[in-house]
Amino acid sequence: MAAINLQPFLRGEAIELRPLHVNDWDALYAVACDPLIWEQHPARDRYKEEVFRQFFDDGLECGGALAAVDRATGRIIGSSRYFGYDAEQKEVEIGWTFLARSHWGGPYNREMKRLMLDHAFQFVDRVVFLIGENNMRSRRAIEKIGATLRGTRTKTDKYGNVIESLMYVIAKKDHDGLA
């Protein structure tokens, strides 16, 4: 089986996902500077420019960050990432997802996850989502698409911060394409 392409071009009806580029900073920060997007997230201050800059740069460095583009307007409305691809375990993480509040509650998040899952399941047997315990909005959204809570996962980021997250999983055998 071939290795997964962590920065594919994926196109749905409402949204397009493409590799995040350094030139996307202004458009993506214009979305991310809204404090309400981050109110339930463990990094509640990510709306601040210097904090988001680190998030953005980490996304570029990881090689799996994607810009989410509203197909109707051509505008960037958020982003997501593939990360932690493990060929031996046949798994990859999907996460670091956020959308402009103007795009909450519609087809955008569901379609983004469907596109990303359909792509991932060409290469892996399971997709992992790591979510902060108090991030109820993200937990509900991921449960709506069929992810099941499988426990916790602790990891240390490149800055030495220990992060404990709830681990949700969707297995390839259970994936229905989120039609």
Is residue 64 one of the residues assigned to a domain? yes
81-106 average pLDDT score: 94
Predicted confidence at residue 176, as pLDDT, reads 66
Which amino acid type is present at position 25?
Answer: W
Q: How far apart are CA 167 and CA 120, in angstroms?
A: 17
| Domain that residue 140 falls in | 10-174
pLDDT in tens, 117-167: 999 999 999 999 999 888 898 999 999 999 999 999 888 777 777 888 899
Is residue 168 one of the residues assigned to a domain? yes
Is residue 1 one of the residues assigned to a domain? no
The model's pTM = 0.92
**Which of 9-13, 17-21, 31-35, 173-177 has the lowest average pLDDT?**
173-177
What's 79's domain CATH number?
3.40.630.30
Is residue 124 one of the residues assigned to a domain? yes
Is residue 145 one of the residues assigned to a domain? yes
What's the first-to-final CA gap in the chain, in angstroms? 26
Please report the DSSP string for 43-92 in residue order.
-TTTTSHHHHHHHHHHHHHHT-EEEEEETTT--EEEEEEEEEEETTTTEE
Is residue 179 one of the residues assigned to a domain? no
**Per-residue confidence band for 179, with pLDDT thresholds at 50, 70 and 90:** very low
Is residue 4 one of the residues assigned to a domain? no
Q: Under a CB-based contact definition with an 8 Å cutoff, are residues 149 and 167 in contact?
A: yes
Is residue 2 one of the residues assigned to a domain? no
- Domain count for the chain: 1
Q: Under a CB-based contact definition with an 8 Å cutoff, are residues 22 and 121 in contact?
A: no
